[in-house]
A = this chain, B = another copy of it.
Amino acid sequence: MKRFHEYKNPSLAVDLVVFGYHNNTLSVLLLNRKEAPFRDCWTLPGGFLQMEETFLYTCSRILQTKLGMDGVFLEQLYSFDDPDRDPRGRVIAVGYYALINPAKFQVVAGSMANDVKWFNVRKLPVLGFDHKQIFQQALQRLKSKILYYPVGFELLDDLFTITELHELYECILHTTIDRRNFRRKILDAEYVINTGMKREGLKNRHPELYKFNKQLKKNNFQINISTE
């Protein structure tokens, strides 16, 4: 019996939407390609699946070797299968998105890229391949996910203030949320634990520092905000 992988099969790749949050801005990490196709174009980081790898492993490998990142939140998005999505041939891409705290990593362009840069998600350049579509799906997923699942803290420092969490939500959802109602929701849901410490060195009143509540029953909370 002929083994399956001796037939011709499409290639398999993962494409990564790496979100970072810094200075009140949600950003995405893009590579400037050194080689055709889409030479000198901005694209999502990605790479091919090796025969023995899982997708998650491929993602980690890419994050590690191309971007020097480790131990980050990763979630599968969707599989993109347009036969013409890659001019080199049939490549099926499985999209993943990652949430990282840019303060924890220093990104460097690997050998495949001219440049690696953070781009504000509202000011993206033209992307190669079908990466615009993958990005949009990732952003949409993130927007819905933070409303019913505590992932926001993945983008922040270990200790954060309610105001910082509030600003993160406003930034991701691209809307305004009442400060006081937000605080109440987050505290009622036991999303966070008060550490008793305060953030020092600010111009005004020093806010309390919280950490994420790891014991949180994850589907116990829901923030009702119209995703517009």
A interface, CB within 8 angstroms of B: 1, 3-12, 48-49, 51-55, 76, 78-79, 81-83, 88-92, 94, 219, 227
- Knowing A9-B10, A51-B8, the reply to whether A3 touches B79 (Cβ < 8 A) is no
Q: Are A12 and B10 closer than 8 Å at their CB atoms?
A: yes
Q: Are B8 and A90 closer than 8 Å at their CB atoms?
A: no
Q: Are A91 and B4 closer than 8 Å at their CB atoms?
A: yes
A11 to B9, CA, bound (A): 6
- Knowing A79-B76, A81-B55, the reply to whether A10 touches B90 (Cβ < 8 A) is no
A79 to B89, CA, bound (A): 21
Q: Are B49 and A10 closer than 8 Å at their CB atoms?
A: yes
A8 to B53, CA, bound (A): 13
A83 to B51, CA, bound (A): 9
Q: Are A7 and B11 closer than 8 Å at their CB atoms?
A: yes
A88 to B1, CA, bound (A): 10
Q: Are B3 and A88 closer than 8 Å at their CB atoms?
A: yes
Q: Are A79 and B91 closer than 8 Å at their CB atoms?
A: no
A76 to B79, CA, bound (A): 8
Nearest B residue (CB) for A55:
B81
Query: Can you identify 21 A-B contacts, CB atoms within 8 angstroms?
Result: A1-B88, A3-B88, A4-B10, A4-B88, A4-B89, A4-B91, A5-B10, A5-B11, A5-B90, A8-B51, A9-B9, A9-B49, A10-B12, A10-B49, A10-B51, A12-B12, A51-B90, A52-B83, A52-B90, A54-B82, A55-B79
Nearest B residue (CB) for A58:
B81
Residues of B contacting A227 with CB < 8 Å? 219
- Knowing A10-B12, A12-B12, the reply to whether A3 touches B89 (Cβ < 8 A) is yes
A10 to B219, CA, bound (A): 35
A82 to B57, CA, bound (A): 11
A86 to B91, CA, bound (A): 22
Residues of B contacting A53 with CB < 8 Å? 83
